[in-house]
Amino acid sequence: MTASSPLSHQRVSTPVKIPPLLLLALSSAAVAQPSTGPAADANAPRIFLAASDVDARVVQADAAAKAAVPFDAAHATPALVSAREQFEYDYLQKAGAALQAGPFRAFLDFHIMPRVGNGFRTHHNEAELLLVLKGTGALSVGGTLVDAKQVETDEFQNIQFQAPSANGATAHEMAAGSVILLPPDIVHGQTRVDGGGTVTMDLRLPFPAHAAAPSMSLKRAFLSRQDVEQRLAAADANIAADWAHSDHTPAARERLENAALQRGGALLESGPFRAVLDYRLAGVKHAPERHAKAAQLEVILEGAGTFTVGGTAYAVNRGDILLIPPGDAYALTQVSQDKVVMLSMPLPLP
């Protein structure tokens, strides 16, 4: 994703020649769209994003884009496809950030095809977290940019470079449920889009000033749904002996599961940003937590329940995402089904 700052995202792409009638249609459709702009206070926290909200936004954006830029997929020109994708992306951004807390902003991104003209990029001194919400494709990572151009410097003095191609990049499969944490300065670009397109949530993570120099390692950069299931199955197997000698309470089971899940270390890691699995069982109470100098990201991977942030309760289900502002107390206050499994990630302030 390109941006003028981590607080405001906008694409920068190679100009596409679009017929005048199509330009008029795009302009007219933009005027006719219902207002979905940000709230009066554009900096107010946006804590909760339900999977159903993503579905609704994408359906609305699809309908608006198809009306504004109609074409037959079998005979579509690259210019039309690019125009359709740009329209849909712009429509999704009309509502502002999907989530925001402190300096962190998460935006929805949409792809019909790999980008033309600026498909590869790097972010200096900030990591990037990508959650694949819909679709499948490939993200190519690593190597070096070819004919790179600097396109931004933000208030954190973080620089972004973009290029039409890269040498030596390796393709990694991405699918709904995948989570990718890219270290700073790593070349990356989506190079394959399958079927009806992909929807991702992109969260830029400026490195704190006190953080050590970032590693370029990709050892803990990719997490698939299958990886999560394997880690949970391994934890179940590893606690068998301890469980046999425990008091067989839900609290004991939860404690053993979380200890087993942590033995393998963080699932995702880049500098100060580390994501782990958090296993919660029905009937176990937890005191609220808060972080004065960090936001908190929670992704519901399994189960359903109630998550309370700053006194407000949110009914959460699989696929829902919370971005909790620094200083706000938060807790999973109810587990509606057998268990809830979350991907948990503190986000230290820059």
% of the chain residues with pLDDT over 70: 84
Flag whether pLDDT at 60 surpasses 80: yes
**255 and 329, same domain (yes or no):** yes
Q: Is residue 206 part of a domain?
A: yes
> Of 206, 223, 240, which residue constitutes the final position of a domain?
223
CA 216 to chain CA centroid, Å, is 20
Q: Is residue 53 part of a domain?
A: yes
Q: Is residue 268 part of a domain?
A: yes
Query: What is the pLDDT at residue 289?
Result: 96
pTM score? 0.83
Give the 3-state DSSP-derived string for 132-173, with helices as H, strands as E and coil as C.
Answer: EEECEEEEEECCEEECCEEEEECCCCCEEEEECEEECCEEEE
pLDDT band at residue 197 under the 50/70/90 scheme: confident
Q: Which two tokens stand for residue 276?
A: 């782990």
Q: 25 φ, ψ to 5°?
A: -65, -45
Host domain of residue 304: 225-348
Could you give the CA distance from residue 281 to residue 342 in angstroms, rounded to a whole number?
A: 12
Instruction: Count structural domains, the chain.
Output: 2
**182 and 282, same domain (yes or no):** no
- 294 DSSP assignment: E
> Of 180, 196, 223, which residue constitutes the final position of a domain?
223
Find the mean pLDDT for residues 253-259. Answer: 94
% of the chain residues with pLDDT over 90: 56
**25 and 116, same domain (yes or no):** yes
Query: What is the pLDDT at residue 15?
Result: 43
Query: What is the pLDDT at residue 155?
Result: 58
Could you give the CA distance from residue 255 to residue 222 in angstroms, rounded to a whole number?
A: 26
262-266: long-range contacts, CB 8 A cutoff, minimum separation 24: 263/238, 264/231, 264/234, 265/220, 266/220
Tens of pLDDT, residue by residue over 24-57, are 333 333 333 333 334 446 678 899 999 999 999 9
Find the mean pLDDT for residues 82-108. Answer: 88
> Of 223, 252, 268, which residue constitutes the final position of a domain?
223
Q: Is residue 38 part of a domain?
A: no
**163 and 265, same domain (yes or no):** no
Find the mean pLDDT for residues 206-210. Answer: 81
Find the mean pLDDT for residues 104-130. Answer: 84
Q: Is residue 238 part of a domain?
A: yes
**114 and 250, same domain (yes or no):** no
Flag whether pLDDT at 17 surpasses 50: no
Could you give the CA distance from residue 117 to residue 139 in angstroms, rounded to a whole number?
A: 16
Could you give the CA distance from residue 293 to residue 328 in angstroms, rounded to a whole number?
A: 11
Tens of pLDDT, residue by residue over 293-349, are 999 999 999 999 999 999 999 999 999 999 999 999 999 999 998 999 999 999 999
Flag whether pLDDT at 233 surpasses 70: yes
Find the mean pLDDT for residues 138-146. Answer: 94
**208 and 231, same domain (yes or no):** no
In 3-state terms, what secondary structure has residue 59? helix
In 3-state terms, what secondary structure has residue 107? strand
**14 and 157, same domain (yes or no):** yes
Comparing 74 with 331, the larger pLDDT belongs to 331
Q: 209 φ, ψ to 5°?
A: -60, -30
**134 and 179, same domain (yes or no):** yes
**233 and 219, same domain (yes or no):** no
Residue 328 maps to which CATH number? Answer: 2.60.120.10
**67 and 206, same domain (yes or no):** yes
**158 and 289, same domain (yes or no):** no
**178 and 246, same domain (yes or no):** no
